[in-house]
């Protein structure tokens, strides 16, 4: 028996009990006549004590040689601690060691295994197995396991069946690059790793499974960022014989369940907003509604003077920054420099101070009088003490720019409290998006998304106006889930493929198996997929997903711990009938 108890469970009630513990040496303090050692495992830390009055000379010498991260087993009697530590669950006791066994020595780790470590991110990723010993990472992984278990509990209680789908599939266009896998047994042919189990879950509905879910790995060969990895995990769900309202109710229920069971938070309302309104009021389709600063469109009150910057703009739009009038001119200039960064791309920013006495002072006083500026304040909802920030230009670009500014200001003002949760449904997305470079439409979600009832005919006359029977669930300014009612008949799916530029032959080659399945009695169906990594991070009070993944990739898609991806040898290339054509 390596241990009778773990390092986090001993309390005053265990005093005078003989126990066996095993774990890692967190640190030791050698006073010569007495040695204290903090022994750590997944569950916590217990202080060990060796002293020259009660410990043999040989064991004292052994204890003095213990290094950080040595793996040891100890046996001894639990005693009351003379200087209690109220910050530790085990702080009332310590273990007087009678037997010490070194199970494995350790070289000095490249960074301290502490909550506040001295290791940089890349170094910690290289030695991720050491990083996992640290409480912040360990606790995040345990938290993820709890969330995952609660997802399974909720869905299983609601009659969902967990079904696994294949990882080696056919490459199909779903909006991102596929990772491909060569087939040795089928020379010159390739599998693709799934970007999602989309077609399989639809086939499961055709198969009569009725309610399906899967916590599944998905793969997309995309550029990476803090909340994106080349492999990620979805809570993938599908339901048959349902309408949109059924799906929204089920997954509102799942989100409520997680917030209550994991965070102890109860949410009553899940507001709903149309996609068009989200873009108009917030400039993006995943607005953070924990705070205000809604957009106010100023064309009608700003384009009647001789200020050509506004007069020539498609859209003039502003936000009211609460308490922003306290900003100094230097601080506002820095804000202007921030919006002019290439990542944001604005040409500049106009502002108007809302003074406490009801007057206004703007950066364009030459063109606008007090009445004009009062109208700006009215449209943006600005009050005395606020600052109105105004951008102008091409409508789609300026909305994105002001959205970025809104989020930056909210961060600076402390309005994005991670302990506050504000869910929101965004509804009725466009079915199609126009690619300005090619002039062709592509699916905003995926080719199997159904148009809103009664809008199919619009595909011929005004495809850009067709709304999708689709919905996204947003939490704290992050899309945590999205889905749609699917097309479930061959004729409608053929029309959709046609408008996406597929020839009949191409559609059959890519999706013939699904089209054929629809001819055997496909039920009305729809579903939703949550991004588990992002959902867990937000529930855990963070927005970056990396520390909630056991072995993540870096921003270049590399696993620096195992040094992957890596070349394969010529023998393997020959076996797979592959020849490299590398750019020099």
Domain with 439 in it: what CATH number? 3.30.930.10
Same domain, 263 and 302: no
- Is residue 285 in some structural domain? no
Count the Cβ atoms, other than its own, within 10 Å of residue 433: 14
- Is residue 284 in some structural domain? no
Ligand-binding site membership of 91 (annotated): no
- Give the CATH number, domain containing residue 94: 2.40.50.140
The DSSP bridge pattern shows strands 525-531 and 231-240 to be antiparallel
Same domain, 371 and 434: no
Residue 335's SS3 state is helix
Provide the domain limits for residue 393. 291-413
Ligand-binding site membership of 220 (annotated): yes
Same domain, 363 and 433: no
Ligand-binding site membership of 531 (annotated): yes
Q: 259: exposed, middle or buried (C-beta count within 10 Å: 0-12, 13-18, 19+)?
A: middle
Same domain, 367 and 409: yes
| Cα four-point dihedral sign 388, 393, 395, 399 | negative
Distance, CA of 173 to CA of 328 (rounded, Å): 51
pLDDT above 90: residue 443: no
- Is residue 153 in some structural domain? yes
- Is residue 27 in some structural domain? yes
Q: For residue 335, which phi and psi values (nearest 5 degrees)?
A: -65, -40
- Is residue 226 in some structural domain? yes
Ligand-binding site membership of 532 (annotated): yes
Same domain, 263 and 303: no
Instruction: For residue range 29-82, list pLDDT tens digits in order.
Output: 999 999 999 999 999 999 999 999 999 999 999 999 999 999 999 999 999 999
Ligand-binding site membership of 222 (annotated): yes
Ligand-binding site membership of 229 (annotated): yes
Ligand-binding site membership of 445 (annotated): yes
Ligand-binding site membership of 500 (annotated): no
Question: What six digits make up the tokens of 574?
Answer: 């020959």
Same domain, 445 and 533: yes
How confident is the model at residue 226, as a pLDDT? 62
Distance, CA of 461 to CA of 454 (rounded, Å): 14
Give the lowest-confidence range in 132-146, 249-263, 279-293, 495-509: 495-509
- Is residue 190 in some structural domain? no
Same domain, 403 and 431: no
- Is residue 222 in some structural domain? yes
Ligand-binding site membership of 557 (annotated): no
Helix residue ranges, H only, 32-117: 57-64
pTM above 0.75, yes or no: yes
Instruction: For residue range 373-386, list pLDDT tens digits in order.
Output: 999 999 999 999 99
pLDDT above 80: residue 174: no
* Total domains in the fold of the chain: 3
- Is residue 147 in some structural domain? yes
Same domain, 203 and 152: yes
Judge whether 352 and 377 are in contact, CB under 8 Å.
Answer: yes
Ligand-binding site membership of 428 (annotated): no
Distance, CA of 417 to CA of 410 (rounded, Å): 10
Distance, CA of 44 to CA of 88 (rounded, Å): 9
Same domain, 539 and 435: yes
């Amino acid at each position: 028996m390596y241990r009778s108890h773990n390092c986090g469970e001993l309390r005053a009630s265990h005093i005078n009990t003989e126990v066996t513990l095993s774990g890692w040496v967190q640190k030791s303090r050698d006073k010569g006549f007495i040695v204290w050692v903090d022994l750590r495992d997944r569950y916590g830390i217990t202080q060990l004590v060796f002293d020259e009055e009660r410990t043999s000379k040989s064991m004292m010498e052994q204890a003095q040689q213990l290094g950080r991260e040595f793996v040891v087993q100890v046996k001894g009697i639990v005693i009351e601690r003379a200087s209690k530590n109220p910050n530790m669950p085990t702080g009332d006791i310590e273990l007087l060691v009678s037997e010490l066994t070194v199970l494995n020595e350790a070289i000095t780790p490249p960074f301290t295994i502490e909550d506040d470590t001295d290791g940089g991110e890349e170094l910690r990723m290289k030695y991720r197995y050491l990083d996992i010993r640290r409480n912040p990472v360990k606790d995040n992984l345990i938290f993820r396991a709890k969330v995952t278990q609660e997802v399974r509990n909720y869905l299983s209680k609601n009659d969902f069946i967990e079904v696994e789908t294949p990882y080696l599939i056919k490459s199909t266009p779903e909006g991102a690059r596929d990772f491909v896998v060569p087939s040795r047994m089928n020379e010159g042919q390739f599998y693709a790793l799934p970007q999602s189990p989309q077609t399989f879950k639809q086939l499961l509905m055709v198969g009569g499974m009725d309610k399906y879910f899967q916590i599944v790995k998905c793969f997309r060969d995309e550029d990476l960022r803090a909340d994106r990895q080349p492999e990620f995990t979805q809570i993938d769900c599908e339901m048959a014989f349902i309408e949109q309202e059924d799906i929204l109710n089920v997954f509102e229920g799942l989100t409520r369940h997680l917030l209550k069971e994991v965070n102890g938070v109860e949410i009553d309302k899940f507001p709903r907003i149309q996609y068009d309104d989200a873009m108009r009021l917030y400039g993006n389709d995943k607005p953070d509604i924990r705070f205000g600063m809604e957009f106010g469109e100023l064309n009608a009150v700003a384009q009647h003077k001789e200020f050509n910057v506004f007069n020539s703009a498609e859209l003039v739009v502003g936000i009211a920054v609460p308490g922003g009038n306290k900003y100094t001119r230097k601080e506002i200039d820095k804000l202007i420099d921030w919006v002019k960064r290439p990542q944001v791309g604005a040409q500049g920013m106009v502002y108007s101070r809302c003074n406490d006495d009801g007057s206004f002072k703007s950066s364009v006083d030459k063109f606008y009088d007090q009445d004009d500026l009062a109208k700006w304040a009215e449209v943006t909802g600005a009050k005395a003490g606020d600052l109105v920030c105004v951008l102008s230009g091409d409508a789609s670009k300026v909305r994105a720019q002001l959205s970025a500014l809104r989020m930056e200001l909210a961060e600076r003002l402390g309005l994005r409290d991670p302990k506050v949760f504000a869910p929101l449904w965004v509804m009725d997305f466009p079915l199609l998006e126009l690619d300005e470079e090619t002039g062709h439409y592509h699916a905003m979600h995926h080719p199997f998304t159904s148009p809103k009832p009664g809008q199919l005919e619009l595909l011929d006359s005004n495809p850009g106006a067709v709304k999708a029977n689709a919905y996204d669930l947003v939490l704290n300014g992050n899309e945590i889930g999205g889905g749609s009612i699917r097309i479930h008949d061959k004729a409608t799916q053929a029309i959709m493929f046609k408008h996406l530029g597929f020839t009949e032959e191409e559609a059959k080659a890519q999706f013939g198996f699904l089209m054929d399945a629809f001819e055997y009695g496909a039920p009305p169906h729809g579903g939703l997929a949550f991004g588990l990594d992002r959902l867990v991070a937000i529930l855990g009070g963070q927005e970056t997903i990396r520390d909630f993944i056991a072995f993540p990739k870096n921003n270049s898609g590399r696993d620096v711990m195992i040094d992957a991806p890596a070349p394969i040898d010529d023998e393997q290339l020959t076996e797979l009938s592959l020849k490299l054509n590398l750019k020099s």
